[in-house]
Structure 1
């Protein structure tokens, strides 16, 4: 069964953020995700979830200085203490919102990074993920990592599926899983169904968007009905996050989801 979660950072932007919960529920979504909850109190967010009977599916750890271009702390040497604080803060929100999984953004490499720089980032990344996975396990939460394409996020440390799978192998934490964003994979590598099949046992969460413009899933070069069919055949029972930018008003573009319970 396909279960869709609206990404409230990208969708329903015609509404103020706290009004997007009810807009998503009215459109037929049963779950929500977003990039970051930290501008709001956990109580405010919890109230919105309860009032709309939505499930909180996912959010990210604090990313560092987003406005300055930082995109996560997990691989940044010298920022370990800040990363650990971000883990604790995220887990406090996850508990309050009954959210089962959180995503640790890897961060970006400096321009002109050499092999030594990359090795230092990798070692930091692995240490930080081991710490975060241990802390998350204490609260029965799943930690996610996500390869993000370097067209949208230049110099992002984690960008390819094989790299992510090697990280999972080295960290060896049962609650560390892959956040498999089909849009990012398409931009970087393509061959989506084969990647899905090969990595299925490691996948904790799936996200979708049309490619190449990141609009609705029925716009562009990815044929999502085939991917959803394959996910169901493989036995996927997690959520699918709709992390796309609507081309117009959100409800006007939901026709693609009628077969999955959405209401345009």
Structure 2
């Protein structure tokens, strides 16, 4: 679940996609460089370091020039306070949105909300309080929460009740500030408590708060359950946030088995205008990889 490290590592990954790249070059459209996409795709720090520079502020400006209108930054809470503020000011000036960042220790293998241990819940609630202050600095509305692992010595229904109770307390912290914690089902390990969209839907209904919703990461959910469009439809009223990555490989769309053009067309026609987080690596490194990344998103965004 060290997703910031994952992104940094996978952004350097190389791959042999010469044929696919050649095919893309034949279908490139005449879209102007800075024209916004139909959906609001959000890159991460490092995705455009070769072209935009290593400084995240410079990358944000470069992303805007390419047509992106949001960013994500899982590790925002670990940045210096001054940088958080500067990122927020830069986004505001450019008319861009801040996507999710991860609530610090918002649930992990060593700190599971399913166990109903006071020390675990206290850590989670402290992370929620800290996240409110970070969100104010960078103009964030959504924060990611993962409830952690199963507590295998307890019945599943009891674990579920424990998670709901802890999340209600977290929602009480976020509600006055209009911040939404989005619960993310993951596929990283079978030890994780939260794995399915419908399971997350049930929990959100039980928490019954505008500050507790679903982060639908299509990469993880393609691995765990598939049937993406059908499950999006079933859970629609509890999904304010989307993330993507192709499978297998967790690289940009068009590198795996998911027909993202159809998925994005579904989102657009449903009226979704929220952030679509680009939570994945890249099939090629350097400027070549960055160019291919933009080309891939232009391709799958051409559903209109």
Tell which structure's C-alpha radius of gyration is larger: 2
TM-score range, shorter chain: 0.7 to 0.9
Instruction: Answer whether contact 2:77 2:103 (CA < 8 A) is retained.
Output: no
Q: 1:56 aligns with which of 98, 111, 125?
A: 98
Counterpart among 119, 122, 131 of residue 81 in structure 1: 122
Q: Is the 8 A contact 2:107 2:145 kept in 1?
A: no
1:233-252 correspondence to structure 2 within 5 Å? 233-249=269-285, 250-252=289-291
Residues 194 and 64 (structure 1), Cα distance of their counterparts in 2 relative to 1, 3 Å cut: closer
Task: Identify the residue that residue 43 of structure 2 maps to in structure 1.
Answer: 6
Matched position secondary structure for 1:7 = coil
Partner of 1:147: 185
Q: How does the TM-score come out when normalised to structure 2?
A: 0.75
Alpha-carbon displacement from aligned partner over 1:35-70 (angstroms, at most 9, x marks no partner): 22122123312313433624211111002798xx65
SS of the residue corresponding to residue 43 of structure 2 reads strand
TM-score (normalizing by structure 1): 0.85
C-alpha distance 107-12 of structure 1, shift in aligned 2 (>3 A): farther
The equivalent of 1:225 in structure 2 is: 261
Relative to structure 1, is the Cα distance of residues 23 and 36 closer, same or farther in structure 2, using a 3 angstrom cutoff?
Answer: same
Structure 1 position 125, deviation (Å): 1.5
Query: 1:176 is matched with which residue: 212, 236, 249?
Result: 212
Pairing of 1:1-264 with structure 2 (within 5 A): 1-8=38-45, 11-12=47-48, 16=54, 18=56, 20-51=59-90, 53=94, 54-63=96-105, 70=110, 73-78=112-117, 79-109=120-150, 113-114=152-153, 116=154, 118-119=156-157, 121-149=159-187, 152-249=188-285, 250-254=289-293, 255-258=295-298
Structure 1: where are the runs of 5+ without partners? none
Paired residue total? 253
| Structure with more of its chain in helix, by fraction | 2
Seen in structure 2, the aligned counterparts of structure 1 residues 11 and 119 have a Cα distance that, compared at 3 Å, is farther
SS in 2 for 1:38: helix
C-alpha deviation, 1:145, in angstroms: 0.6
1:100/1:141 contact within 8 Å kept = yes
Following TM superposition, by how much is the alpha carbon of 1:232 offset from its aligned partner in structure 2, in angstroms? Answer: 1.0
Structure 2 stretches lacking a partner, 5+ long: 1-37
1:11/1:244 contact within 8 Å kept: no
